[in-house]
Structure 1
Amino acid sequence: MAGGLTPRARRVMLVPGRIAVLAAKRALPLVALLALVFATVELLPGDAATATAGRGESAADLERRRLLLGLDRPVLERFWDWMSGLPSGDLGTSARGEPVARLLGGAFPGTLTLGGLALLLTATCSLALGCWAALRPGGLVDRAVSGSATAVLALPEFVVAVALVLVFSLWTGWLPAVTITGADGSPASWRMLVLPVLALTIPQTGWNTRIVRAALADEARAPHVETAVLDGLPPHRVLTRHVLPGALPTITAGLATSTGMLLGGAVVVETLFNHPGIGSVLAGAVTDRDTPVVAGVTALTGAVISGVLLLADAVRDLMSGGRR
């Protein structure tokens, strides 16, 4: 039966196996990163018992708190116990007694909303700009798009955020500079999402526009594209039907890589705009020397980034004929 399958069908059947291997390979660096997080928090001055202690607590009270938090145990033992709970979704308990999974469950959707909107807008803008520039290689639009993309990709998110606040909040008053949450903890208005999303989108649009333009330029040199040009097809049809499909695996990989940058940048942007998300949770956890919370944030963001990268790998496998 397998011998009667088409090449494409055989490629589809092989994709799950390759994805499983890639998932295992991506899991190992994540485990190493989590171990590094435990070690790094352990090296910070003070500990969770001291950082979360109330006023007037005696040395005996602090010692009892350390025993309660398990800080008397070796860090490797605590790391192993925390890792053993991951398969069941148990991220441990914070230094203030709240389950980490519940704490992050209330904050992470806000970060995902911010990052997801920024990723969608980044994909749309970078594809549009890259294709626009590719229609006339070497022309004025191509040079302008490439130059602008190079300029904005070098800008950190906090610099873009400050500039956006100056222009759209302080000078014009069109958009709010901070996020005010409603009764459910989410932003009270969609307008409060605009500036944080733009602060994340602008640098990543510059990065991905360059990737799109380079991928289209590489694919434009393929023999079948040159044949389509010699056949007299209009430039926009050559681009959409012959160049863009072949460049999509590279473009997808670039957008997947941006996921990690967007989630990392979201922590800074959330702090600047007072947006509800893991940024404030992470900042508080570092202040409290709260290792389970810091590790939980790392594990959750790492899982999301790994999932997006695996999805991009699957798309690249299907569209590039399974070749590496």
Structure 2
Amino acid sequence: MAVALSDAATATDRTTAGAGQVRRRTLAGPLRWLLLAPRRAAILLLLLVAVFLAVDLLPGDAATATGERGEAAEERRRLLGLDQPVWQRLWEWLSGLPRGDLGTSARGEPVTDLLATPFPNTLLLSGLTLGLTVLVALTLGCRAALRRGGPLDRAVSLTSTVAIALPEFVISVGLLLTLSLWTGWLPATTMTGADGSITSWNMLLMPVLALAIPQIGWNARIVRAALTDQAALPHVEAAHLDGLPSARVLLRHALPGALPTIAAGLATSTGMLLGGAVVVESLFNYPGVGTVLSGAIADRDTPVIVGAVACTGAAVTLVLLIADLIRARTLGGRP
């Protein structure tokens, strides 16, 4: 009887210890994700410092970019605070970030007000592009993985390679020629209303396609490769041996394990989308951050440039944190 009670107590202790280990593993993923947030924020801060210093190293400044010369340029430089050391100007700009103050432009306007309309427009364009990328890339990647080595797989591989190799401005010019100048199906430029928003939804089609085509090619290859790696795992092969349909095995057994890789690819695409938006928005006269940024670079307007980078960088950082959370929850906290 005593031996039985001792064995039961030992089994209970082992069960409790096992439950504690499972609980710790379950919490490891979210806790590790929370620890990644300060690291991502520190990287963003270093990026902003690098951009601020890089703009300061460019020839000329906001005073001379407007055509001022001599004493007039010196007076304007003093009014803009450009006569102060770069480290002092950098500290003044960084100290305003916790309050949501992105500084004042060379024309005397708050940078926050300058970006209040263009930044949501860029988020709309990037969000629509990312949604289209997810839908098409998942569809093509899954179908190619289901028929590895078949005609569809080869076609997806070829077209995705071509799409990745084409820069956004080349695709934009091709879309302008085919969908606007030759056929007249879509407007060549984006028209805006009094509030700064676009006047018709069809003006979004060509900018979205110009940004989405390279990212669809990139992510379709990632999805296909991730699913192929998962197909070689024992539990996926066992599901095939059990006679389950290939589509069910892919969706229920292979796709969940491939999610971290797919999420990382989409997070990388977000940064590429926001970077490519600078070129695409300028070509299509789209009222986004890219248009503001191109003008600010020409004017050497450091607060506007760094403010735009801060907004887009914060959006990319948020997407990267979401990808980290998906990885942590999928892998159970394993690196």
Return the alpha-carbon distance in structure 1 between the equivalents of residues 108 and 125 of structure 2. 28
Match of 2:186 among 147, 171, 175: 175
Match of 1:226 among 212, 224, 237: 237
Whether 1:160 and 2:171 are equivalent positions in the alignment is: yes
SS across alignment from 2:134: helix
Segment drifting more, 18-27 vs 6-15 = 6-15
Corresponding residue for 2:256? 245
Corresponding residue for 1:48? 62
Asked if the contact 1:52–1:95 (Cα under 8 Å) also holds between the matched residues in 2, the reply is: no
**Per the alignment, do residues 225 and 116 of structure 1 end up closer, same or farther by CA in structure 2, a change over 3 Å counting?**
same
Whether 1:203 and 2:217 are equivalent positions in the alignment is: no
Displacement of 1:269 in angstroms is 0.3
**What does 1:23-34 correspond to in 2, within 5 Å?**
23-34=37-48
Asked if the contact 2:171–2:210 (Cα under 8 Å) also holds between the matched residues in 1, the reply is: yes
Task: Find the structure with the greater CA-based Rg.
Answer: 2
Displacement of 1:301 in angstroms is 1.0
Structure 1 residue identity aligned to 2:36:
L
TM-score under structure 1 normalisation? 0.94
The CA RMSD over aligned residues, in Å, is: 1.8
Asked if the contact 2:29–2:334 (Cα under 8 Å) also holds between the matched residues in 1, the reply is: no
Displacement of 1:288 in angstroms is 1.2
Whether 1:39 and 2:60 are equivalent positions in the alignment is: no
Return the alpha-carbon distance in structure 2 between the equivalents of residues 302 and 144 of structure 1. 35
Match of 1:264 among 272, 275, 286: 275
Instruction: Tell me the alpha carbon deviations over residues 131-188 of structure 1, each in whole angstroms, 9 at most, x when there is no partner.
Output: 1111111111111111111111111011111111111111211111110112221111
Instruction: Tell me the alpha carbon deviations over residues 111-148 of structure 1, each in whole angstroms, 9 at most, x when there is no partner.
Output: 11111100000000000000111111111111111111
Displacement of 1:311 in angstroms is 0.6
SS across alignment from 1:293: helix
**Per the alignment, do residues 14 and 66 of structure 1 end up closer, same or farther by CA in structure 2, a change over 3 Å counting?**
same
Displacement of 1:320 in angstroms is 1.5
TM-score under structure 2 normalisation? 0.91
Instruction: Tell me the alpha carbon deviations over residues 7-48 of structure 1, each in whole angstroms, 9 at most, x when there is no partner.
Output: 675445334432232222223332222222222222222211
Whether 1:73 and 2:84 are equivalent positions in the alignment is: yes
Structure 1 residue identity aligned to 2:206:
L
Match of 2:72 among 51, 61, 75: 61
Corresponding residue for 2:149? 138
Asked if the contact 1:48–1:288 (Cα under 8 Å) also holds between the matched residues in 2, the reply is: yes
Whether 1:14 and 2:25 are equivalent positions in the alignment is: no
SS across alignment from 1:188: coil
Whether 1:302 and 2:313 are equivalent positions in the alignment is: yes
SS across alignment from 2:116: helix
Corresponding residue for 1:99? 110
Segment drifting more, 146-155 vs 309-318 = 146-155
Whether 1:116 and 2:127 are equivalent positions in the alignment is: yes
Segment drifting more, 129-138 vs 38-47 = 38-47
Return the alpha-carbon distance in structure 1 between the equivalents of residues 127 and 304 of structure 2. 23
**Per the alignment, do residues 8 and 89 of structure 1 end up closer, same or farther by CA in structure 2, a change over 3 Å counting?**
farther
Structure 1 residue identity aligned to 2:60:
G
Asked if the contact 2:239–2:249 (Cα under 8 Å) also holds between the matched residues in 1, the reply is: yes
Q: Which runs of 5+ in 2 are unaligned?
A: 1-15
**Per the alignment, do residues 11 and 311 of structure 1 end up closer, same or farther by CA in structure 2, a change over 3 Å counting?**
farther
Asked if the contact 1:34–1:295 (Cα under 8 Å) also holds between the matched residues in 2, the reply is: yes
Instruction: Tell me the alpha carbon deviations over residues 273-299 of structure 1, each in whole angstroms, 9 at most, x when there is no partner.
Output: 000001111111111111111111111
Return the alpha-carbon distance in structure 2 between the equivalents of residues 19 and 287 of structure 1. 39
Displacement of 1:208 in angstroms is 0.2
Corresponding residue for 2:10? none
Return the alpha-carbon distance in structure 1 between the equivalents of residues 19 and 311 of structure 2. 39
